[in-house]
Amino acid sequence: MLKRTALMESISSNLHSFLKKIGNNLSLPDKKFLRDSTIGLIRCGKPIVCQLARQLPNQRTSFLSRLDRLEAHLVKDSNFDNKVKCALPRLWLPFIQDDTPIILDLSDIAKPFAKKMDYLATVRDGSTGELVNGY
């Protein structure tokens, strides 16, 4: 149990420092939405607002108020997406040089029903772990 707690603390710390860098130019409600939606998505694994709101660790607020806050932010007409998109290149471009390798994993392109396609081969489907036709 101790290792799991230490791992969660490490992930939480790294996630919060990453989100601070992304949300530098965001307003306080936008920062809260970015934090809550990211944490909820990681814990839940599905982009369903009701399930995201259930997985948020803040138990001081009721479920309905968390749900209302997430839904209100989603329907709000703002340039939240553009601000986040502008922050990401500023954060990641210093790490990419001319000789930086970019690795693409093409093994997950499964075509299980394909019979006659150019360069068709047996590949491992990353979702199921089975060997199927694909690229």
Q: Could you report the per-residue pLDDT of 37-53, keeping only the tens digit for each?
A: 888 888 777 888 888 88
Range of the domain at 86: 2-95
Question: Are 61 and 109 members of one domain?
Answer: no
Question: Are 124 and 76 members of one domain?
Answer: no
Question: Are 83 and 27 members of one domain?
Answer: yes
52 burial type by CB count under 10 A (0-12 exposed, 13-18 middle, 19+ buried):
buried
Query: pTM for the full model?
Result: 0.63
Question: Are 53 and 112 members of one domain?
Answer: no
Q: How many CB atoms lie within 10 A of CB 27?
A: 12
Check the CA dihedral 56-61-62-68 and report its sign: negative
Q: What percentage of the chain reaches a pLDDT higher than 90?
A: 0
Angstrom distance (rounded) from CA 59 to CA 47: 20
Question: Are 36 and 62 members of one domain?
Answer: yes
* Local confidence band at 1 (pLDDT 50, 70, 90 cut-offs): low
How many domains does the chain divide into?
2
Q: What is the DSSP string of 47-93?
A: --HHHHHHH-S--SS-HHHHHHHHHHHHHS---HHHHHHHHHHHHHG
Question: Are 91 and 25 members of one domain?
Answer: yes
Angstrom distance (rounded) from CA 134 to CA 125: 8
Whose structure tokens read 């703002």? Answer: 78
Question: Are 83 and 117 members of one domain?
Answer: no
* Local confidence band at 81 (pLDDT 50, 70, 90 cut-offs): confident
Q: What is the total residue count of the chain?
A: 135
Give yes or no for a contact between 21 and 91, defined as CB atoms under 8 angstroms apart: yes
pLDDT (tens digit, 9 = 90+) per residue, 5-63? Answer: 777 677 777 888 888 888 888 888 888 888 888 888 887 778 888 888 888 876 688 88
3-state SS, residue 21: helix
> When comparing pLDDT for 72 and 120, which is higher?
72
